[in-house]
Structure 1
Amino acid sequence: MISGIAFAQAEGSPAFEAYAPDNTVAPGEETSLTVTFENQGEITTEGEEIEEATVTEARGVTAELDSGGAPISVQTDTAPIGTVQEGATGTQSFDITVNGDANPGTYEVPIELEYSYTPEADEDGDDADEVTTTETVTVDLVVDEGSQFEIEGATSDVVVGDSGDSTIDITNTGPGDASQAVVTLDAPDTNVDVTSQSQQIYVGDWAAGETQAINFVTELSDDALPQDTTLNATVEYLDESDNERSSRELRTAIATGDQQAFSVDDVESELYVGENGQVTGQVTNDGPNAAENVVLLLGDGGGDGEALDILGDVGGGPGVGLGENVDARESQFSVGSLDPGESAEFEFPMAVSSEAEPGPREVEVTTRYRNVAGDVQTTDPIDMSVEIDDEREVFTVERHVAETDEDAETETETETDDETAEDTFEPGATDTLEIAVTNDYDQTLTNLRAQAFTNDPLSIDDDEVFIGEIEPGETEVLEFDLEVGEGADPQTYPVEMDFQYDDEDDSDQLSDTYRVPVTVAETEDDGLGWLLVIIAVIALLAAIVWWFRDDVREWYHSLDRP
């Protein structure tokens, strides 16, 4: 006997409903529309629970949002959802932009779902082939009378390689008021950066028709180009129903300028070998912005607090050489604030040693300043040419011979002989040595201390003379009591002198050593000496004769007479 067996088999398909809980948008808003998809399933032939679950499961679900008749643009049109079983949900967000002129109202937005499923399944596990189908669901989108925003203008003073203030004017064009508004800024150019403190700016209440000035700080890298650069702004706010809203992305351009620059001109150096001097010049703010607290730095500005050797040897390489013979007495000079196109004078005192070689030098000058945002900025170094002149004589030092009244009244050839006679010194005598000192310098020198030095057979007891002030071209006569030793040879001897003094910068200076000739005369013979010698010899002979008179008388009588 053959008996038939009946097999139970379930038939059905997935069935979706769509919901958009936060579906209220405003004209001009850029936002995300979040949609929840629920698989309610549909059974046409009942079966076991596991069989019904098999035929109602949607696999590989994708959702494609279409604007339909709604006034929106869709940026994210297709999105994956995955597998959704009966009774389960899947969620996906779609980026949309609401048209700025969208009319308020409720719009039906279609979403096409595509997925695969198994239409039949039995208890033995024999399933029908998998099929792929599409299904369209809709969600309501409500366009409310929210706020719209427009950028009305933008200004900026930022320059390449610097930071600066920028401002954009944003207007709430309505129709609704906004509250708790926050403006978020972003620059897509990688060489342009909105500083972190300026990326999100809180505005608060923002009435319809009101314009807000949004101030922020922008930085430009050294590689940025001096041109208009794009800036994006988004306004997030609460509408009049306290719903969170976000405006569409607002775009504008901010102007950027050339890199802040300074130039150095009219450089003059008053530097001489063996002297202290100065380098002067003029620094100009070439713009484009004003600069505060401008400071010129030589080399690295002497940041280590020590004296900075800034000048190299003649013919050295470019840049700042660390020579040993020229030192910057001061390596920084403050010129204050400079508007664009404004100039200021500067001066750097230098000390040049006597071992330095005359010739040109190259000096690096860097400008440090505060920009309009108050930030400290430093420019690239500028080469400044400096000339060091050869050593020069500060004084002319000569013997001075006072004229007698007779010399002043008559000018004869014998005057020279008289002066020559007065110009000599006698051995064993002390006489006045007069030395004329003339200031050949281009400055008035003060606190001048003249020191005289002698060697045997010359000597000076009071060998220092003080002069309070001597002007350029002025001559002072110094007097010393010069003593010539007994037995000094008749010849010319040197008297050496040097000078310690203060220049117009109150810098203490020491001059070179100067030499003044002093002639010791030969002792004159007038015949009196020889006469005295003869008299002395005669007297001596007479004394001998008188002492030996008896012997002489006897000797005399013993002489034979004719």
Structure 2
Amino acid sequence: MTDTRETVVTITMAALMALSLVAIGVAGTTPVAANDAGGDEDLDMGSSGSSGYVPPDRGEPDLSVGLSDAEVMPGTIESLEFDIQNDATVTTGAGDGVTTARGVTVEIDDSGPFERETGPVAIGPIQDGESVPATQQLAVPDDLEAGEYDIRVEVSYSYNSYMSSDGSHTREQTTETETVTIEVPDEPRFEITDVDTDVEPGASGPATLEVSNVGTEWANETRASIAGGSGVTVDGGSADAPVEEIIGDIAPNESTTMLVDVAVAGELSSGERPLEIDFSYRDSGGVEREGESRTASLTPGAEQSFAIGDVTDTLSVGYDGHIGGEITNEGPRTIDDAVLVVEPMSESLYIEDTRYALPELEPGETTAFTYPTDVSGQADAGPRQLQFSVEYTGSSGDATLEDGPFTDRVTVDERTDEFALGDDGIIVEQGDRTEFELEITNQREETLSNIDAQLYTDSPLSTSNDEAFVPALEPGESTTITFDVAAGADATTEYHPVELDFQYDTESGDTVVSDVYQHPVEVVAGEDDDSGGITGTVVGLMALLSIAGLGIGMWWRRT
């Protein structure tokens, strides 16, 4: 029984398993007529058949580094523009989410004989098939020989290596390093080793430039176009239209001097000014080539300067005077043709010759100057402003330059007479004559010379000595002059005026006649003034007349 029971169970289980397999076959099989292409695709779990299954994206970016212009010049800082190209790889799926390199940064990892001038540069995402530029700077040593040199460029980025349809993904971070070849070409190279000029602001003149071929090849038929800027003009050209200079052939490691004419604007301050220089030449094969542009520095000559000091004056209302002072050459050059120009800032001052020729002045040397000056009689006393400037020839000898203006002040004093008059009192008796002395004092602040004094009288006064002469009087100096005066017998006993004027020469050589001075003379009665004097005279005259009359009568009678 036991064996029979086990046999039944075995048969039953076998039947059940067979039914299960049949049911599975019926559910999973599509009729062949409905799919002529066969059932292989229906059996592939990786397909997107009627089951709705979407395979994930799998892949990765592939970045490469290119450099289209790999030539660099020694002694320069070169900007290298690398091209970062993405040529991505897709393993499964459409690849939309796994081919973009994100957060890309580029950096020179090993600069070889060069020196890095920049650090990492972020250039953002790079999609498949896209190329993005990345700029790095390298300093190229002066003494670097021609040849090829390798540098290593490091590119870092992130990407999705796996991306499913439900948004789940795997993020990767990677760094790639590529070698790029840099070339220092075997050709002429130009350097400006010296620029020199004495031309100062506001002038023009020669400048010399020393040009050196520091390359390894001859530069034949070399030419240079020089453009100034910031107030500097070269050979009459401009920044937009520079004038070309012919230099000629320059062998490797040789130099030549180029002479140009520069003009420097007068308003420029001190300091270096740039010159932009472009070179062209023919190589050993006769091919015309362009050299590297160079920037040189032109330092204009130091601007000449002067200083005005110790300005003094002898000015008073209505009189001639002087304005004087000192001028110092503060360098840097010896000046032998300068002219000091003064301009009064008031119409009440008149200077006939405003230009004062200065002697040769070495740096640091000082000389005095003076200007004869007239002051109007209608002027008010008080301060006046002056403006000085210095004109001189520039270092090039073909331009007149100016330093200044300098301002200073002088003071016009109240009107004062040239001379002060003094005496001990002039007294003359009626009918008498007397000699007297006048003390005259020079009240001007300059020496007066050839002083002619003239005395004038009116009735009842008269004079027989009306002139006096003084050779010279320094400021504040006094002397005495002598005249005489007579009073008529019938002059009233009181003060009577006499008048004087003076003609004299000033220090500037002008001859001046002063205003008229009045001075008092006192007339007093004579010592023998009594009635007997006049009466006796009259009686005597009458007696003489009587005697004469008697004599005439007797003669007439006799006749």
1:346 maps to: 369
> Aligned letter for 1:82?
G
How much has 1:64 moved relative to structure 2?
A: 0.8
Answering whether residue 159 of structure 2 is matched by residue 117 of structure 1, we say: yes
8 Å CA contact retained: 1:439, 1:470:
no
Answering whether residue 174 of structure 2 is matched by residue 133 of structure 1, we say: yes
| Bigger CA radius of gyration | 2
> Aligned letter for 1:511?
D
Greater Cα shift, 60-69 or 510-519? 510-519
2:555 maps to: none
2:125 maps to: 83
8 Å CA contact retained: 2:315, 2:411:
no
**Structure 2: where are the runs of 5+ without partners?**
1-26, 29-49, 474-478, 546-559
8 Å CA contact retained: 2:306, 2:327:
no
Answering whether residue 116 of structure 2 is matched by residue 94 of structure 1, we say: no
How much has 1:527 moved relative to structure 2?
A: 1.0
How much has 1:103 moved relative to structure 2?
A: 2.5
Separation of aligned partners in 2, 1:23 and 1:344:
66
How much has 1:33 moved relative to structure 2?
A: 1.8
How much has 1:59 moved relative to structure 2?
A: 1.9
Change in CA separation of 1:217 and 1:339 when aligned onto 2, cut-off 3 Å: farther
Match of 1:59 among 102, 107, 110: 102
Q: Secondary structure at the match of 2:214?
A: strand
1:539 maps to: none
Match of 1:210 among 243, 249, 255: 255
TM-score (norm 1): 0.59
Separation of aligned partners in 2, 1:214 and 1:93:
39
Match of 1:494 among 494, 497, 500: 497
Change in CA separation of 1:181 and 1:258 when aligned onto 2, cut-off 3 Å: closer
How much has 1:388 moved relative to structure 2?
A: 11
8 Å CA contact retained: 2:498, 2:521:
yes
8 Å CA contact retained: 2:156, 2:176:
yes
Q: Secondary structure at the match of 1:525?
A: helix
Answering whether residue 521 of structure 2 is matched by residue 517 of structure 1, we say: yes
Aligned length: 460
Match of 1:377 among 387, 403, 414: 403
How much has 1:367 moved relative to structure 2?
A: 5.1
Greater Cα shift, 241-250 or 90-99? 241-250
Kindly provide the CA deviation profile for residues 401-431 of structure 1, in whole angstroms up to 9, marking residues without a partner as x.
Answer: xxxxxxxxxxxxxxxx9x996517xxxxxxx
Match of 1:9 among 47, 56, 72: 56
> Aligned letter for 2:402?
V
Separation of aligned partners in 2, 1:297 and 1:145:
62
1:19 maps to: 66
8 Å CA contact retained: 1:154, 1:168:
yes
Does 1 or 2 have the higher relative contact order (CA < 8 Å, sep 6+)? 1
Separation of aligned partners in 2, 1:244 and 1:74:
27
How much has 1:118 moved relative to structure 2?
A: 1.6
How much has 1:347 moved relative to structure 2?
A: 1.0
Separation of aligned partners in 1, 2:288 and 2:169:
52
Kindly provide the CA deviation profile for residues 326-365 of structure 1, in whole angstroms up to 9, marking residues without a partner as x.
Answer: x87776644276442555441122457999999xx99988
Q: Secondary structure at the match of 1:28?
A: coil
Separation of aligned partners in 2, 1:262 and 1:4:
103
Match of 2:213 among 153, 172, 180: 172
Kindly provide the CA deviation profile for residues 295-317 of structure 1, in whole angstroms up to 9, marking residues without a partner as x.
Answer: 5466xx43x57345xxxxxxxxx
Separation of aligned partners in 2, 1:296 and 1:423:
58
Separation of aligned partners in 1, 2:320 and 2:410:
19
1:41 maps to: 88
Separation of aligned partners in 2, 1:291 and 1:23:
56
> Aligned letter for 2:120?
T
Separation of aligned partners in 1, 2:106 and 2:541:
149
1:284 maps to: 328
Separation of aligned partners in 1, 2:493 and 2:273:
97
Answering whether residue 167 of structure 2 is matched by residue 144 of structure 1, we say: no
How much has 1:235 moved relative to structure 2?
A: 5.6
8 Å CA contact retained: 1:264, 1:384:
no
2:390 maps to: 368
Q: Secondary structure at the match of 1:99?
A: coil
Separation of aligned partners in 2, 1:23 and 1:154:
32
1:190 maps to: none
8 Å CA contact retained: 2:388, 2:406:
yes
Match of 1:529 among 528, 534, 538: 538
How much has 1:263 moved relative to structure 2?
A: 6.2
Separation of aligned partners in 2, 1:184 and 1:95:
27
Separation of aligned partners in 2, 1:376 and 1:535:
95
How much has 1:181 moved relative to structure 2?
A: 4.2
Greater Cα shift, 235-244 or 6-15? 235-244
Superposition pairs for residues 307-318 of structure 1, below 5 Å?
307=348
Answering whether residue 150 of structure 2 is matched by residue 108 of structure 1, we say: yes
8 Å CA contact retained: 2:430, 2:524:
no
> Aligned letter for 1:346?
F
Superposition pairs for residues 355-504 of structure 1, below 5 Å?
368-370=390-392, 372=395, 375-378=401-404, 393=419, 423=433, 442-445=447-450, 452=456, 454=458, 472=472, 488-490=491-493, 493-499=496-502, 503=506
Match of 1:506 among 507, 510, 513: 510
> Aligned letter for 2:515?
S
Change in CA separation of 1:249 and 1:350 when aligned onto 2, cut-off 3 Å: closer
Separation of aligned partners in 1, 2:166 and 2:406:
81
How much has 1:533 moved relative to structure 2?
A: 9.0
8 Å CA contact retained: 2:306, 2:390:
no
Change in CA separation of 1:353 and 1:230 when aligned onto 2, cut-off 3 Å: closer
> Aligned letter for 1:22?
D
Q: Secondary structure at the match of 1:24?
A: coil
Change in CA separation of 1:293 and 1:395 when aligned onto 2, cut-off 3 Å: farther
> Aligned letter for 2:510?
D
How much has 1:99 moved relative to structure 2?
A: 2.2
Superposition pairs for residues 149-298 of structure 1, below 5 Å?
149-150=190-191, 152-153=193-194, 169-176=210-217, 177=219, 181=224, 195=231, 197=233, 204=245, 207-208=249-250, 209-212=254-257, 236-238=278-280, 240=283, 246=292, 260-262=305-307, 264=309, 275-280=319-324, 282-291=326-335, 294-296=338-340
How much has 1:513 moved relative to structure 2?
A: 0.3
Greater Cα shift, 112-121 or 161-170? 161-170
Q: Secondary structure at the match of 2:98?
A: helix
Change in CA separation of 1:449 and 1:392 when aligned onto 2, cut-off 3 Å: closer
How much has 1:261 moved relative to structure 2?
A: 4.6
**Structure 1: where are the runs of 5+ without partners?**
187-193, 309-326, 401-416, 425-432, 537-562
Change in CA separation of 1:19 and 1:507 when aligned onto 2, cut-off 3 Å: farther
Change in CA separation of 1:534 and 1:508 when aligned onto 2, cut-off 3 Å: closer
8 Å CA contact retained: 1:398, 1:437:
no
Amino-acid identity (%) = 22
8 Å CA contact retained: 1:399, 1:436:
no
Change in CA separation of 1:195 and 1:167 when aligned onto 2, cut-off 3 Å: farther
Separation of aligned partners in 1, 2:294 and 2:154:
26
How much has 1:502 moved relative to structure 2?
A: 6.3
Q: CA RMSD in A?
A: 6.0
How much has 1:174 moved relative to structure 2?
A: 3.1
